[in-house]
Amino acid sequence: MGTRREQTEQAGSPGTARPGTAAKGRWIGRIAFGAGVATLIAVVGAGVFVALPLPEHLLDYRPVASLRILDRDGNLLRELRSRQDGRATPLRSDQIPDRVKRTFVAAEDHRFYSHHGVDPIAVARALVQNVTHGRIVSGGSTLTQQLARTLIPRERTLLGKIQEALWALRLEAHLDKDEILTQYLNRVPFGNGTFGLEAAAQLYFGRSAEHLSIAQTAVLASIPRGPTAYNPYRRPERLDARKHWVLERMVETGALSREDAELAKDDPIDLRAFASSFRTPHFVEFLASHLDRFGVSDAAVIQTTIDPSLQARAEEAVQQEIGRLADRNVGSAAALVVDNPTGEVLAYVGSADFFDEVHEGQNDGVQMLRQPGSALKPFVYLEAFSAGYSPATVLSDTEAHFGGVGGEYSPENYDRRTHGPVRVREALANSYNVPAVRVGEQLGPERVLRRLHRAGFDSLDKGAEHYGLGIVLGDGEVSLWEAARAYSGLSRGGVLRPLRPILHAWRADGTEIALRDEIRPRRFAPATNVALIADILSDNSARARAFGIDNVLRLPFPTAAKTGTSKGYSDNWTVGFTHERTVAVWAGNFDGSPMTKVSGITGAGPIFRALMLDAMRGVRPAPLYDDSRLEHARICPLSGQLATDRCPSSMDEVFAKGGAPAHECTMHAPLSDSLPEELAEKCAELAGPRGTIEDLGPEYYEWARNEGLAKQPWLAAVCRKQGARTAASNELPRITYPTRNAEFLLFPDLPLNDQAIPVRIRAAPSFGMIDVRLDGELVFSLEPPFVGRIAAKEGAHRLTLHRPGDPRVLSEVPFVVRAERRVF
């Protein structure tokens, strides 16, 4: 048990700390001591840093560093100034009027004369605003901090902000307020490559700083807050609003009377015309942003590949066509012209008008990612040729439904029609969507995407499951630059090479810089397959059904071209090539709004034609491809097989050597000589005087009936001589609709009869009757053309086909019907 004293000691008295508590207290004390020491060291270190003399040459005005960008003939396109100095003319303090100083202090830092480089009130206000908005909307920087930022560039991070504050304190410790303000006014950026008050006054108003009016001073004081946002040449309305704010702030701080402020508000912003060379603005901006990409980050002079005369004609062609299409809601266009042998960029137009704010003209349509629509189809068919297709392969252009991760996908052709059996040549030349998606389904989106990646479409950076079959119709976003590069690769027989915007580059000391290519050359497709694509894209007769014989793609020299329109009708493209040149054109709206009745042939097409004619001026055109790689054969235009005397017509088609069809036409056969009496008359009428039966096959029977080509198209299979049956006659029936794993919505406010699900079956007429069962229960029996409708019932279902009285399943498709869930 122990004594009472022992028990008390074991329990511990109120005044005695437990061992664990004591240890914890010691650790807290150590941490507090360490934090105090660290704080003391930081404060002492900051004090030492602030007390140090300023670096010897910190405030020197260095010579203006610039980058001169020239066209291929040596004409100046633009002179870009360095951010540190730019176009600057330093002033002494006595050359800057007091009213100008008061204006900038009121606009940027009205407590300038009362703080020591950092304004605690401004910092606290900025912190509250940033927390309230959930993002950085204010930095709280003083004029001294802004000067520190121009003298010692920093990263825009918390550490960088601390460094900026320390430098501001150091500047305040060694310079008086007037020196700081003078340094600031001589270095602050005013946009358009201009740094410093005097240079800005000369650029925008054509006068020195000492002769600026109150309104002009307020305008200049508005710009440093955001040289791009308040650019006088591009944002005059926004700048005017900022000018009014500056004048009000001057009244509030006592720097200006109310009467003078109101007079200055009414004083219009009368800008001097922008005299600096500002040609090919989008091209120069692109080049300036990608100097390292081409290995010229230390260049003083760059001679580009731009052809000045072709560039001028390209800009004119774009502006004229956009002006003509203004009533169809076409806001802008972009164009690129490439010399194929070298990859040199001869013309680069980023928009119809760089200064058009309404249509966002500063956007660069050459580099912006947009949906190319059908402009990617040539690369899909390139992959198909590698898989054994040929220009004569027959594809089904009939109503189609494809299953996928995102639900059912039902593509439509641009003309909202279907065209039955079409050859690859027809499908690509006329840009039919349905057969192209069928090809994509056979190849698989993964294989299509790999081919596009090999062709240089690096912007398609998501997985195949993201794009699905939509990749075939250009649902992914690419740039006009990538399209021009890929089509230029087609002109070289499938060899991708970099586009080259630079001829030469020199450093300031005159030494020439070795240029860097954006990509490494590589072959992305066999030359024979590319020759087939070029032949199709240059076949004006093949595209006549969609575009007419006399269309803008018909040029007086061999030209392969393809159009494309995005699914939202906000973009249309025309891209094409001769042996010598590639031209790529985009037309549409940067804001994504749809155009009105405009396609690639009517929007981008006329620009393409004008540019290609200009680009080929004085050039002797060479053949598009090496014809020795191909062979020719006479085929039946309907079946794509070797023509026979039964075919109503025949045509010449090209194939890869050894790739011509091996079999004669099976769609045209002689009339059977052993028909029952009840069919003889009908079949004789169907055969006509030539005694030939045209049997499209089961896949096209419903299409032929809907198109009015025949009341009973399946009768052809019975009338033809049985020894001449098509291979399709031996196929088992299969369900073509619903598609596998399709999902249907059941709407409670619509009649059930209106929501019945169509059933379509592909089968030869020789099968006669086919039983259709839903979840094992017989729904109905169908005869040619094997179409019907079943009631939609909520739940998962299984549709199966059977021979009458035979339980064996010939074809099956699972699908789901879900009731719509509405949220009120």
Q: Of these residues, 66, 79, 108, 141, which one is catalytic? A: 108
Report residue 478 as tokens: 């690419």
For 256-286, letters b (16+ CB in 10 Å) and e give beeebbeebeeeebebeeeeeebbbbbbbbb
Report residue 535 as tokens: 């032949």
β-strands 301-304, 332-339: how paired? unpaired
User: What's the one-letter identity of residue 171?
Assistant: L
The whole-angstrom separation of Cα 298 and Cα 511 is 11
Cβ atoms of 570 and 588 closer than 8 Å: yes
374 catalytic residue (yes or no): yes
List 819's β-bridge partners, or say none: 746
List 692's β-bridge partners, or say none: 670
User: Long-range pairs for 617-621 at CB < 8 Å and ≥24 separation?
Assistant: 619/578, 619/580, 619/581, 621/557, 621/558, 621/578, 621/579, 621/580
> Residue 733 CB: number of other CB atoms within 10 A?
19
Report residue 396 as tokens: 């089904």
Report residue 599 as tokens: 């396609």
List 522's β-bridge partners, or say none: 496
108 catalytic residue (yes or no): yes
Label residue 88 exposed, middle or buried (CB < 10 Å: 0-12, 13-18, 19+). Answer: buried
Report residue 571 as tokens: 């973009």
Q: Of these residues, 66, 222, 332, 374, which one is catalytic? A: 374
User: Long-range pairs for 254-261 at CB < 8 Å and ≥24 separation?
Assistant: 255/99, 255/102, 255/103, 255/105, 255/106, 256/102, 256/103, 256/106, 256/214, 260/214
> Residue 767 CB: number of other CB atoms within 10 A?
20
The whole-angstrom separation of Cα 89 and Cα 86 is 9
> Residue 603 CB: number of other CB atoms within 10 A?
30
Q: How far is CA 62 from the centre of its chain?
A: 41
The whole-angstrom separation of Cα 427 and Cα 536 is 10
Report residue 451 as tokens: 């081919």
Torsions phi, psi for 647 (to 5 deg): -70, 130
Residues serving a catalytic function are 108, 374
